[in-house]
Amino acid sequence: MRGPHNLWRLIRTGATFERTGAMRVALDAVDAPRGLRIAARVIGWPFAWLGYTGDPDLPPVTRALTALGPAYIKFGQILSTRPDVVGTELAGQLTVLQDRLPPFPTPVARAVIQSELRAPVDALFTEFSEPVAAASIAQVHRARRADTGQEVAVKILRPGIEAAFRRDIDAFYFGASLIETLSPASRRLRPRDVVNHFASVVAGELDLRLEAASGSEFAENTRNDPGLIVPKPHWSLSARRVLASDWAGGIPLGDVAAIEAAGHDVQALATNVLQMFLSHALRDGLFHADMHQGNLKVAPTGEIVLYDFGIMGEIDEYTRRVYAEILFGFIQRDYDRVARVHFEAGYVPRDRNITDFARALRAVGEPIFGADASRISMANLLSYLFEVTERFGMQTRTELILLQRTMVVVEGVARSLYPQINMWQAAKPVVEEYVQASLGPRAMARDLGRIAQTISRNGPLLPELIERSIWRMRDEDTQPKAQNPFSWRSALLGAGLVAAGAVLARLLFL
């Protein structure tokens, strides 16, 4: 249903911002230029009467986003972690979107549990509280298992949330198509692919069985990580719309005053949050991609409690190495290395000048390193880097969207705890450790071992592959050479690689 009817949804979005007064607040927060303010006023004012009114007790931007629906609330959650972008006042107003939205009635939650788990709530739990937290997609109740007496958190999807997200994403697809049509230059940014990526992430978040699986895998990956607590899922009490997991106690990470009053070291916590994220992304390739304050607590022992695994990011080992080399190159201020990595990874077209690109990267990095600690920002670096790569023809990398977005959120969380944190200094040991483990001699030996294992595993197929190559060369020899001048070379190269692989496997495994 991605038709023109979605234009109505986009118009109503602007109208809602105008009607609630959020348009002016948002433009002030980002210090929008006068021309943009005039254009927004001219476009928004005639349609203001079409906008949703929202809850008048909420601040304007929060009011508009909650009225527009869950996808917009997700966007607001990200902005709530960026006081350096939208200002301290607006960021504080948006924190209610993390876990303090209006809940749906407890009787409805009980009905969902009974339907999903095929048993009454009283038979499953001896205690079942009113909602203790409510966010854009689900709400949480505190309960106690009837069979073991263990205290658990029970997460339940909001009724009708699937249809609401489908409607919003449908409008986003239409908006992306409209942008590509009206501005052909924007196609390089692949807006439809970006929306498609967002849709796939949301689809996973709307099935709590997948969240349970992600939480279980994440707990296994991090079981030896100091300073981190990961609640484990309870599979017997989980289904598509219901998820039970260990109860996560502690002080919400957004309550800095309470954290300081409890005697916790906010600088150490801020550093831990950043290093934790980088370690999971680089070491494991699986990272929590929704690390706002609503999903983080501080345990009485000072450990960070991380929960809600509805949005997870995953990057392959090759991409991890590229990302680490880029970060490491900036940390070392080796802009030639950063440029070379971009070209080798295919991020920048090879017909561009690598020397010019390295010089442009220096213009990105040096002002950041010349700033004081409170202004050194990885998020700003990513923003400036995007501007440079845009000039050099780099396309949007959809596989890095979650990684880049989460880096922005994590930095916002760290700065909310300790505004003076030096992001690069905090990141350096994690990145250096990964680079040493993944790009040194040991990593090369490990890669060769994997290649040999692959060849050895496919050993029975090698004779047939070589024979096919020989017969293909003979067949091509009877054809006019002008038809395929490179076929002999390709076949010989393929046969040579197969034979070399077989020899390597024999040397390594016999």
Asked whether 292 and 279 are in contact (CB, 8 A), the reply is no
pLDDT of residue 406: 83
Euclidean distance between CA atoms 135 and 291, whole angstroms: 14
Of 278, 303, 255, the C-alpha closest to 403 is 278
In the three-class reduction of DSSP (H, G, I as helix; E, B as strand; rest coil), residue 330 is classed as: helix
Residues 6+ apart with CB under 8 A from 396: 188, 189, 190, 193, 194
What DSSP line would sit under 24-64, residue for residue? HHHHHHTT--HHHHHHHHHHHGGGGGGS----TTS-HHHHH
Q: Catalytic residue positions?
A: 290
- The pLDDT of residue 442: 67
* Residue 256 confidence (pLDDT): 93
Domain positions in the chain are 6-98, 162-203, 248-439, 446-509
Over residues 450-492, the pLDDT tens digits come to 677 777 677 677 777 777 777 777 676 666 554 444 454 454 4
Strands across the sheet with 125-134, in order?
A: 125-134, 138-145, 151-157, 242-246
Q: Which parts of the chain have pLDDT scores under 50?
A: 482-486, 488-489, 491-495, 497-510
Q: Which of 188, 128, 176 is nearest to 392 (CA)?
A: 188
Quote the pLDDT of residue 221.
Answer: 95
Predicted local confidence at residue 505, as pLDDT: 44
261 token code pair: 């009053």
The pLDDT value recorded for residue 509 is 41
Q: How far apart are CA 124 and CA 128, in angstroms?
A: 10
C-alpha closest to that of 491 among 504, 472, 509: 472
DSSP state of 103: P
What is residue 12's predicted lDDT score, i.e. its pLDDT?
A: 82
- The reported pLDDT for the residue numbered 402 is 72
Q: pLDDT tens-digit profile of 84-130?
A: 556 667 877 777 776 667 899 999 999 999 999 999 999 999 999 99
DSSP string covering 217-242, please?
Answer: HHHHHTTT-TTEE-PPB-GGG--SSE
Residue ranges of E strands in 265-360: 286-288, 296-298, 304-306, 312-314
Residue 260's pLDDT is 95
Contact by Cβ (8 Å): 324, 431: yes
Provide the pLDDT for residue 479.
Answer: 60
